[in-house]
Chains A and B, each alone.
Chain A
Amino acid sequence: MLAKALAIAIGAIGPGLGIGFIGAKAMEAIGRNPEATGKILVPMLLIAAFAEAIAIYALVIAFSIK
C-alpha cells in the first residue's frame, strides 16, 4: 500500500515542477507580446503533455503494484 502511494507521490514531483516552469515561461512570453498568444498556446500545451506523460508513467507503476 505504501509502495503505491510513494510511487505516484514521488513520481509527480518532477512533472509538477516542470509544468509549472513551462506555464511560467509561457505567461512571461504572452505578457511581453499579447498578440502572439495563439502561437504560444499550442506549443505550450504540447510540451505540457510531454511533461505530464512522466507522471503518467509513475501512475501506471502505482496501479500495477499489488
Chain B
Amino acid sequence: MSQVAEQASISETHEEIIHENTLFAEPIAHLGNFPITNSMLNTWLVLVIVIILAIIIKKNLKTVPRGLQNGLEMIVEGFLGIFDSVTGSRQKSLKFAPLVLAFFFFILLNNWSGILPGVGSIGQIALHDGEKIFIPYFRGGTADLNTTLALATIGVVISHVLGVLVIGWWNYLNKFINLKAFIEIPKKVIKDPTVLLVNPIKAFVGLVEIIGEAAKIASLSFRLFGNVFAGEVLLASMAAVLAWGVPIPFLFLEILVGLIQALIFAMLILTYLTINTTAEEH
C-alpha cells in the first residue's frame, strides 16, 4: 500500500478520489503498533490550548481580576449558579465544579475544533484497496466514538467511585440490592403485614439499575458523537451544494450545537454525581 502525500487542493482527477466522511477516524501515523488518528491529533491540540490557558491564568492571578481572568470568573460564577439548582447546595457545587467544568471545557473546545478552517480539508491521499481516498490530517476530537465513549465511561465510573467514598459501602450497596428492606421485615410485620410481600420485591428492584448504568454510558457517548459527527457531515454536504454563503447559517448552528451538547454532557455528569452521593431517604 503506497502512500502519496500531497495537498488536496492540487489533486488532479484523472482518477476518482473518494472524499467521504467515515464513521471511524482514520489513522495518519503509527507509533510502533499504535495508530494515531486524526481525532487524536485534535484532542492533543485542545489539551495544549487548555494547559497553556491554565498556566497563563495561574501565573497572573490577581485579587481584583482584569481581562481574561475576569471573563472566566464570570463564567464560573454563572455555572455555579446553574449547578446549585441541580445539587441543592453551594458546598456540593464547589466540590463537583472542577470535575464537571473540566468535562465542559474539554468537550466544548473539541466540538468547536471541528469548525476551524483547515480541519477536515487539509490532508493526504492514500491508496486503499486499489482506490484513492482522501484522509484529512485533522478531525473534530469528539467526532470519534472512541473519545466520547472514553469520556462517558470516565464520568459514570467516577460517579460510582465518589458515591462509595461519600456515603459508604452499606448505603451504596443498598441502592442495588436493598438489604435494608429485608432487615425491616421483622420490625414492621406486626404493624403492617403486607410488608412480608412487598419488601422482598423491593430488595431486587435495584438490580435493573445496573443495566441502567450501561445505558447511561451508551446514551451519553452516542448523543455527543452523533451530534458532532452529524454536524460535520452536514457542513460537508452544504459546502458541496454551494461553497460560498450556504454554509454560514450551518456554521452558526454548529457553534450552538457544540455549546449545548457540552453543557448537556456536563449537567448529566453532575446529575449522576449528585444522585450517587445522596443516600436514599426513606
List B residues 257-275 near A (Cβ within 8 Å): 260-261, 263-264, 267
Cβ contact within 8 Å between A46 and B223: no
- CB of A59 within 8 Å of the partner chain: yes
* A40 CB, nearest partner CB in chain B, Å: 13
- CB of A60 within 8 Å of the partner chain: yes
Bound Cα distance from A60 to B261, whole angstroms: 16
Cβ contact within 8 Å between A45 and B260: yes
Cβ contact within 8 Å between A64 and B223: no
* A48 CB, nearest partner CB in chain B, Å: 9
- CB of B7 within 8 Å of the partner chain: no
Bound Cα distance from A49 to B267, whole angstroms: 12
CB-CB nearest in chain B for A47: B264
Q: How many residues of B contact A (CB 8 A)?
A: 16
Bound Cα distance from A63 to B222, whole angstroms: 13
Secondary structure of the B side of the interface? helix
Cβ contact within 8 Å between A57 and B260: no
Question: Which of B8-16, B197-205, B225-233 lies at the interface?
Answer: B225-233
The number of chain A residues touching the other chain, given as a range, is 10 to 19
- CB of A19 within 8 Å of the partner chain: no
Cβ contact within 8 Å between A57 and B222: yes
Cβ contact within 8 Å between A49 and B225: no
- CB of B99 within 8 Å of the partner chain: no
Q: A60-B225, A64-B23 are in contact. Are A53 and B219 (CB under 8 A)?
A: yes
User: Out of A46, A59, A60, A64, which one reaches B264, CB within 8 Å?
Assistant: A46
CB-CB nearest in chain A for B226: A56
List A residues 14-65 near B (Cβ within 8 Å): 42, 45-46, 49-50, 52-53, 56-57, 59-60, 63-64
Secondary structure of the A side of the interface? helix
Residues of A near B82 (CB, < 8 A) are: 42
List B residues 220-268 near A (Cβ within 8 Å): 222-223, 225-227, 229-230, 233, 260-261, 263-264, 267
Residues of B near A59 (CB, < 8 A) are: 226, 230
* A52 CB, nearest partner CB in chain B, Å: 8
Q: A49-B260, A49-B264 are in contact. Are A56 and B223 (CB under 8 A)?
A: yes
* B222 CB, nearest partner CB in chain A, Å: 6
* A59 CB, nearest partner CB in chain B, Å: 5
Residues of A near B229 (CB, < 8 A) are: 60, 63
Question: B225, B226, B264, B267: which has the most chain A beta carbons within 10 Å?
Answer: B226
User: Out of B226, B260, B263, which one reaches A60, CB within 8 Å?
Assistant: B226
CB-CB nearest in chain B for A50: B264
Q: A45-B260, A46-B264, A46-B267 are in contact. Are A53 and B223 (CB under 8 A)?
A: yes
Q: A42-B82, A63-B23, A64-B23 are in contact. Are A53 and B226 (CB under 8 A)?
A: yes
CB-CB nearest in chain B for A64: B23
Interface string of B67-100 (1 = CB under 8 A from A): 0000000000000001000000000000000000
- Can you list 9 A-B pairs, Cβ within 8 angstroms, ordered by A? A45-B260, A49-B261, A50-B264, A53-B222, A53-B223, A56-B222, A56-B223, A60-B225, A64-B23
